[in-house]
Amino acid sequence: MSATRSPKVAERVAPKASDPQPPKKKRDDDDGPDFATLLHAWIESHRASLLDSLRRLGKQPIGSFFTCMVMAVALSLPMGLSLLLNNVERLGGSWQRAAQISLYLQLDATPGEGEALREQIKAMPGVADAEYVGRDQALEEFQQQSGLGEALKELPENPLPGVVLVTPNEVDKPTLEALRQRLSELPKVQQAQLDLVWVERLAAILKLGDRFVFGLTVLLVSALLLVIGNTIRLHIENRRTEIEVIKLVGGTDSYVRRPFLYMGALYGFGAGILSWGVLAFGLDWLNDAVVGLAGLYGSDFSLAGVPVADGLSLLLGAVLLGYIGAWIAVARHLRELAPK
């Protein structure tokens, strides 16, 4: 038989250009896994990292508790100081009331004109409240406070004018001075008086308190980051060989970092819960002595507890600090664990 085919046979076997080509079979894995599969894998990876972090913390309950307790103390100090300052502010009355503007009315101003003036002032911008004190009420209060009740009864007429006490919205010297000037120009107002010296002292005290709390917060947050960073560093050192193997087989930095981030967040969550409990217990313990002291002065004052909003903010802040501290620690040591 000849090795070459005849022209007719070759013509019959070779496909023509016009003949329809059979479609190529599409491989199932050309497009890769779908979104649902990727999402399930992502959730499963995070769940495994969270459970692994919980398991490792559970193996060292005493060490984990004391780490959370140290963080809780660092969180409790600035928060507790802020709560105490708020209670002291509530005890002394509002700061706005301490900076009241006293409007002394003319002697011929009637009670009706005084009430109308009070309503007008109360509707003005920058005014939180306004109270009218009539001439008779002012004389009665002066008799009680001065101890000259019998002598004042001998006066032919009441020498005290009516007063409108104006409580501003904010304690700010330029704003208060502008408000006092505007109020002094109202009809029937003889004099507008504002204790600017007290306002300046009050503003200085508030500014000092704010700076002290801010500085203390910065210092303690820095210490908190160092504590969580050092704790995560120890966990990394204990798992150094495991991490190197994971990176040798192609594990990404995010895969290696994830369990430690969950661990930092769990430390922060535990610290936030402990700090909330410490603050609640401390204020309740201190409240017994405060109530006893206030009772001696005929007052029913008591310390307010930790508001729920502040407690949740404390908890969220603790979790974020734990997460950030863990991220910094892992980012610093991840470069040292690169496979060689």
| Local confidence pLDDT in tens for the 340 residues of the chain | 444 444 444 444 444 444 445 555 444 445 567 777 877 777 887 788 888 888 888 888 888 888 889 889 888 888 888 888 777 766 655 555 567 888 888 888 888 888 888 889 888 888 888 888 887 777 777 666 666 656 556 666 766 788 888 888 877 778 888 888 888 888 888 888 887 677 677 677 777 877 888 888 888 888 888 888 888 888 888 878 777 787 777 777 777 788 888 988 999 999 999 999 999 998 888 888 888 887 777 667 788 888 888 889 989 999 999 899 889 888 877 766 655 5
What's the pTM value of the predicted model, to 2 decimals?
0.61
**Whether residue 224 sits in one domain with residue 333:** yes
Tell me the residue type at 93. G
**Whether residue 310 sits in one domain with residue 225:** yes
**Whether residue 168 sits in one domain with residue 129:** yes
Q: Whole-angstrom Cα distance, residue 330 to residue 308?
A: 33
**Whether residue 77 sits in one domain with residue 123:** no
pLDDT at site 320: 92
* Contact status, residue 330 vs residue 232, Cβ threshold 8 Å: yes
Cα torsion for 49, 50, 51, 57, to the nearest 10°?
110
3-state SS assignment for residue 196: helix
Find the largest Cα–Cα distance for the chain: 154
pLDDT at site 4: 45
Q: Is the dihedral of CA 255, 260, 264, 269 positive or negative?
A: positive
What Cα–Cα distance (Å) separates residue 132 from each residue in 98, 176, 214, 228?
17, 19, 40, 58
Residue 290 included in any domain: yes
* Strand 101-105 relative to strand 127-133, pairing: unpaired
Residue 292 included in any domain: yes
**Whether residue 111 sits in one domain with residue 185:** yes
**Whether residue 142 sits in one domain with residue 88:** no
Q: Which domain holds residue 58?
A: 45-93+203-337
What Cα–Cα distance (Å) separates residue 129 from each residue in 4, 94, 96, 194?
113, 12, 10, 16
Q: How far apart are the first and last CA of the chain?
A: 65
Residue 159 included in any domain: yes
**Whether residue 172 sits in one domain with residue 63:** no
pLDDT at site 13: 43
**Whether residue 259 sits in one domain with residue 174:** no
Domain count for the chain: 2
166, 194, 222: which is the final residue of a domain?
194
For the chain, the C-alpha Rg in angstroms (whole number) is 38
Residue 38 included in any domain: no
194, 223, 258: which is the final residue of a domain?
194
**Whether residue 209 sits in one domain with residue 79:** yes
DSSP code of residue 123: T
Residue 240 included in any domain: yes
129: phi > 0 → left, psi -120 to 50 → alpha, else beta; which? beta
Write out the DSSP string of 302-320.
------HHHHHHHHHHHHH
Indicate the angle between helix axes 308-334 and 196-238, nearest 10 degrees: 40
Tell me the residue type at 302. S
**Whether residue 327 sits in one domain with residue 244:** yes
Residue 36 included in any domain: no
What Cα–Cα distance (Å) separates residue 124 from each residue in 117, 157, 231?
11, 34, 57
pLDDT at site 176: 83
Q: At 108, which CATH number? A: 3.30.70.3040
**Whether residue 208 sits in one domain with residue 169:** no
Q: Which two tokens stand for residue 210?
A: 């704010």
3-state SS assignment for residue 192: strand
Q: Whole-angstrom Cα distance, residue 225 to residue 70?
A: 12
Q: Whole-angstrom Cα distance, residue 266 to residue 269?
A: 5
125, 160, 194: which is the final residue of a domain?
194
Q: Whole-angstrom Cα distance, residue 273 to residue 319?
A: 10
pLDDT at site 144: 67
**Whether residue 172 sits in one domain with residue 142:** yes
SS3 per residue for 130-190:
EEEECHHHHHHHHHHHHCCHHHHHCCCCCCCCCEEEEEECCCCHHHHHHHHHHHHCCCCEE
